[in-house]
């Protein structure tokens, strides 16, 4: 697969960028269908900025604090993405609520990963809430972005058991390990054209042989 055949992809970050790093490293495989050509951070001092540059990815910093309105920031974000001919956008710890206009513009072209089995535990403090609810299984979800927070057609999910001695920190670490496996596989599904959205359901092509493991990753213990 040549670079021209790959889907031109950008990653949005606000922090350490561990999922970003997992996506970049996966995309280094010559057969991977997405090319990570741009990372954008809304925080100049985000650790992920340095990581992306070390991995040879072009980085743009668009500080949201420099804009008077959310709309102005989002328009600048879109302008930057389009200037780099971006086809897909991956949120990877991007801690901004995006405007309706931005979400609509990137409809079915923007992915997000969330550390729970959506629709359970939307929003923040997911691991604490999972423990408080005494659920026995949690995990992570990759979905297309919609206007409502942590909603949209689900592309892929992976589950892990909650262990008796888990704390919010240990659970976070164990879920994050699975996130690093799931997100590259989910992006691969989308970039290869093996996902289509019908009536707000993300349908996987029957010819995609690797689809099953996305939903049944080995349970971590």
The residues annotated as belonging to the active site are 114
Parallel, antiparallel or unpaired: strands 7-13 and 88-91: parallel
Alpha-carbon distance of 21 to 142, in angstroms, equals 16
Cα distances (Å, whole numbers) of residue 48 to 59, 124, 125:
10, 20, 21
Alpha-carbon distance of 88 to 73, in angstroms, equals 19
Residue whose token pair is 């592309």? 155
**149 burial level (CB within 10 Å; 0-12, 13-18, 19+):** middle
CB under 8 A, 24+ apart: contacts of 192-199: 192/33, 195/155, 197/108, 197/144, 197/153
Q: What is the 3-state secondary structure (H, E, C) of 133-178?
A: HCCCEEEEEEEECCCCCCCCCEEEEEEEECCCCCCHHHHHHHHHHH
């Amino acid at each position: 697969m040549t670079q021209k055949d790959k889907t031109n992809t950008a990653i949005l970050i606000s922090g350490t960028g561990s999922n970003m790093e997992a996506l970049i490293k996966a995309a280094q495989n010559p057969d991977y269908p997405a090319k990570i050509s741009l990372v954008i951070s809304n925080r100049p001092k985000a650790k992920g900025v340095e990581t992306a540059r070390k991995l040879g990815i072009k980085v743009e910093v668009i500080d949201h604090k420099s804009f008077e309105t959310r709309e102005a920031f989002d328009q600048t974000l879109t302008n930057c993405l389009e200037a780099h001919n971006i086809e897909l956008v991956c949120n990877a710890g991007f801690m901004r609520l995006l405007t309706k206009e931005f979400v609509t513009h990137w409809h079915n072209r923007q992915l997000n990963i969330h550390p729970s089995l959506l629709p359970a535990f939307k929003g923040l403090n997911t691991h604490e809430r999972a423990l408080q609810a005494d659920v026995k299984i949690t995990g992570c979800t990759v979905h297309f972005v919609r206007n409502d927070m942590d909603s949209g057609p689900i592309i892929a999910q992976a589950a892990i058991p909650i262990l008796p001695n888990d704390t919010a920190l240990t659970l976070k670490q164990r879920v994050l390990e699975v996130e690093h496996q799931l997100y590259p596989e989910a992006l691969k599904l989308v970039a290869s054209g093996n996902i289509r959205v019908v009536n707000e359901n993300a349908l996987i092509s029957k010819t995609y042989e690797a689809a099953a493991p996305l939903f049944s990753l080995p349970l971590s213990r």
